Amino acid sequence: MSTDGRVLKGERTRAVILGRAADIASAEGLEGLSIGRLATELRISKSGVFTHFGSKEELQLATVAKAVEVFRAHVVEPALVVPEGLGRVRALLDAWQRYQRQPVFPGGCFFHSTMAEFDARPGRVRDAIASSQRDWRAFLERCLREARDRGDIDASADVPQLAFELDAVCRTGAAHALLHDDPSLYDRATRAADTLLAAVTPGAPGTDPGAPAQASPTRRVSGRPCTTGGR
């Protein structure tokens, strides 16, 4: 086999390992991963798995990076196809809720389980998870800021606060829908997100275009806890 062929085979093997690792972690957490378990389930030698990662922590870090790639492909990239503005914000939230509803991972949102697992455990894995969530929040804020700059959202809207509240209601809806096996809770989260956006959208039905953003219904949501422990 040529060198290129060996490299390609190694990349495919690594992708298969990380795909299975992300599935396991979404349901059982990153501590549920082990080189031995993956080797057994995928019928690969332990040495073969070890060659790709070297330690459990490296396996966990690579699994987080894989989950970020999957999230980006399912949520971020579809939104980027839509022009900047409120349309992109709605496309982003719709894609995120589709990702949660399907679900893409068998245990629901990968980051829901791993944030709760590592939120109080300092270290490289926690740092990687936290970084992924900062990037997500920054992207959501960027999309909202673009919409505000275009005039789609009220100029006085507090973008970081709005991003926090949209993130919180969507996470909470997905977490409770999974816990209670009740898909209607996804719909409640969608309606809550629509209400938040309508409150800062000039001319939206049921809103007062002259009212300051601080008086909008967004104030009533900010105190709700985020069940993920942290996305």
The per-residue pLDDT for range 83-138, each reduced to its tens digit, is 999 999 999 999 999 999 988 999 888 998 899 999 999 999 999 999 999 999 99
* Measured distance CA(86)–CA(142) in Å, rounded: 11
Counted residue by residue, the chain has a size of 231
Q: How confident is the model at residue 205 (pLDDT cuts 50, 70, 90)?
A: low
Report residue 48: phi and psi, to 5°: -65, -40
Residue-level pLDDT at 140:
98
Write the pLDDT tens digit of every residue in 49-79. 988 998 999 999 999 999 999 999 999 999 9
* Burial class of 145 by CB neighbour count within 10 A (0 to 12, 13 to 18, 19+): middle
Residues 142, 218: Cα–Cα separation, whole Å: 18
Give this prediction's pTM: 0.82
What pLDDT is attached to residue 11?
Answer: 87
**Helices assigned H by DSSP within the chain:** 3-28, 35-42, 46-53, 56-71, 77-80, 86-101, 110-118, 124-149, 159-180, 184-199
Per-residue confidence (pLDDT) for residue 108, from 0 to 100: 87
Q: Inform me whether the pLDDT recorded for 174 exceeds 70.
A: yes
pLDDT of residue 48: 86
Check whether 164 has a pLDDT greater than 50. yes
